[in-house]
Amino acid sequence: MIKIIGAGLAGCEAAYYLAERGFGVELWDMKPEKLTPAHKSGDYGELVCSNSLKGADPYTNACGLLKEEMRRIGSLVMRAAEYSAIPAGGALAVDRQKFSAFMTKSVKRHKNIRCMCGEVGEIPPAPCIIATGPLTSDKLSRAIEEKTGAPLHFYDASAPIVLRDSVDMERAFFGDRYGRGGDDYLNCPMDKEEYEAFVDALISAEKVVLHDFEKREIFEGCMPVEVMAGRGAETLRFGPFKPVGLKDKEGNKFYAVLQLRKENAAGTAYNLVGCQTNLRFPEQKRVFSMIPALAHAEFARYGVMHRNTYINSPDCLNADFSLKGEPLVFFAGQMTGVEGYVESAASGLLCAVHMAAKLENRQVVIPPADTVCGALSAHIAGSADNFQPMNANFGILPALGERIRDKKQRYTRLAERALKSIDGFVGQIGR
C-alpha cells in the first residue's frame, strides 16, 4: 500500500495515476476534520489563491506547454480543469468549486484509493509521497526538517473577491488587452489623481501583524500588492495595474486599470487580479473601495496571507523527486521548489510515474531536459546555492540549435520540440 500525505493538487494527481496503474493507495488529508486559515471547504484539490491556471496555449505560453505535456502523460488535474473551465481570454481559469468537486469525486470513487482523514505528524514508511504543500502542519514540518534539514519559508497572499452586481458598471468596462478574449475581464480604470490616492492609502494601510516565524522573505511570484506599491509609486502601473492595451467602448485610455477576473462559471463573483494582500479586512474594504468602480463593492472574500514551505531540494532530492538515500520516499508539490498550481500538480504526476517504475522494477526515466517537465525536474535537483522556487517559463528550456529573433516563432519551435520529446517519454513509461 502506497501512502500519500496531502490531498491537494500534487497528492491527488499522484494518487490517481498510481491507482490507475493498479496500485493500492492510502490518501491522507486532515480535511475536513481540520482546516488551515486559507482553506474554506473539505474538498480535495482546493484552489486557495487565484482560480487561474495561467496561459492555455502551448505554443505561446510555457505553462500552457506544461499543461499539454501533462495531458499526454495522463493528468487528472487537466481533466478537472477542462471540466470546470470558465472564459478567461488566453488563460485557463476554472470554477473552483466545480474543479475541487471533480477532483474529490474522481479520487474518492476510485476502487484502488482509500481516503483517510487525520493529521499526519511523521513521514510514513516507504513507499510514500509527501505532498502537503505550502500549508504543511507544524508537526509534520518538524519531521521533514529532521529528515532533510531546516526548511525554508516564504509567504503567499490571496486576492479579495467582490460580487459582480456590486461593481459600478458606469465606471467599469468589459474587455481584454488589445481586444483579445472578448469580455472575459472586467476593467476598473483610474485617472492619475485617483491612482495616486489609492497607492498612498495602500502603502499606509494597517496590515496584519506577522508573528516572528512569519517575518521571512516574501517570494516575488506572489507578492502582496501593498509590498509592491511600496517599491515605488509607478510600480503597480507597470505591473498588475498596467493600462496598456485597454480601452473602453469610446476608445478612451486610462492612467491605471485594475482588472477583475471571473471567479466562477456563473460570473457572480470576480477576483481582483494581482491584488494579493495582507491588509486587515476593514482596511481592504476601505482601500479597494477607493477605486471608483469598486466604491460600493461587496466583498465575497477578503484576501489573506498564508504560509508556504519549501525544502532546499537540491540538497536532499533526486531529479525523480525521491529523497536521496531513500528511493521510495518522494516529495511532491510546492514544497519541492516548483511554484504554481500547474507546476505543483506536475510534480505529483512525475512522482507517481517514477514510483510506479521503481515498484514495477522498470528503469526510471526522467523527462527530457527540453520539456517543461524535465526542466523543472532538473531545477529541483540543480544548484543548492540560493535555491528559489521556479515556475514554468521558456527561459528554463535549453536553447534551440539556431537563433530565432522572432519571439513567437522561437516559442513555437521550443514547444514543438518539447511535445515531440514528451511523446517519446510517454512511449517509454506507458500511459
On whether both 296 and 395 belong to a single domain, the answer is no
Q: Which of 303, 325, 346 is the last residue of a domain?
A: 303
pLDDT < 50 stretches in the chain: 213-215
Three-class SS string for 67-131?
HHHHHHHCCHHHHHHHHHEECCCCEEEECHHHHHHHHHHHHHCCCCEEEEECCCCCCCCCCEEEC
Nine cell digits for residue 279: 491588509
Three-class SS string for 219-251?
CHHHCCHHHHHCCCCCCHHHCCCCCCCCCCCCC
Q: Which of 245, 274, 303 is the last residue of a domain?
A: 303
Identify the pLDDT of residue 353: 98
On whether both 6 and 145 belong to a single domain, the answer is yes
How far apart, in whole angstroms, are the C-alpha atoms of residue 318 and residue 335?
Answer: 14
Question: Do residues 317 and 380 touch, judged by C-beta distance below 8 A?
Answer: yes
On whether both 238 and 278 belong to a single domain, the answer is yes
CATH code of 299's domain: 2.40.30
Is it true that the peptide bond before 124 is cis, omega within 30 degrees of 0? no
Question: Do residues 214 and 307 touch, judged by C-beta distance below 8 A?
Answer: yes
CATH code of 413's domain: 3.50.50.60
Q: Which domain holds residue 18?
A: 2-153+310-429
Identify the pLDDT of residue 184: 80
The domain total for the chain is 2
Nine cell digits for residue 192: 492619475
| Of residues 151, 229, 230, the one with CA closest to residue 389 | 151
Identify the pLDDT of residue 219: 56
On whether both 113 and 174 belong to a single domain, the answer is no
User: Rounded to the nearest 5 degrees, what angle is found at the Cα of 227, between the Cα atoms of 222 and 230?
Assistant: 145
Over the stretch 343-360, which tens digit does the pLDDT of each residue have? 999 999 999 999 999 999
On whether both 53 and 94 belong to a single domain, the answer is yes
On whether both 146 and 267 belong to a single domain, the answer is no
| Of residues 332, 318, 328, 324, the one with CA closest to residue 359 | 328
Give residue 83's region: left, alpha or beta (phi > 0; psi -120 to 50).
alpha
On whether both 175 and 283 belong to a single domain, the answer is yes
Distances (CA, A) of 387 to 154, 224, 361: 12, 21, 32
Q: Which of 260, 286, 303 is the last residue of a domain?
A: 303
On whether both 292 and 376 belong to a single domain, the answer is no
Question: Do residues 9 and 68 touch, judged by C-beta distance below 8 A?
Answer: no
On whether both 277 and 382 belong to a single domain, the answer is no
| Of residues 26, 31, 90, the one with CA closest to residue 55 | 90
Identify the pLDDT of residue 35: 65
Name the β-bridge partners of 91.
55
Question: Which pairs from 220-223 meet CB under 8 Å and 24+ separation?
Answer: 221/339, 221/340, 221/389, 221/391, 222/49, 222/156, 222/157, 222/276, 223/157, 223/276
Identify the pLDDT of residue 306: 67
On whether both 169 and 293 belong to a single domain, the answer is yes
On whether both 192 and 117 belong to a single domain, the answer is no
Over the stretch 396-425, which tens digit does the pLDDT of each residue have? 898 888 888 788 899 999 999 999 999 999
On whether both 184 and 271 belong to a single domain, the answer is yes
Q: Are strands 322-323 and 113-117 parallel, antiparallel or unpaired?
A: unpaired
Identify the pLDDT of residue 213: 45
Residue 187 sits at φ, ψ, to 5 deg, of -105, 135
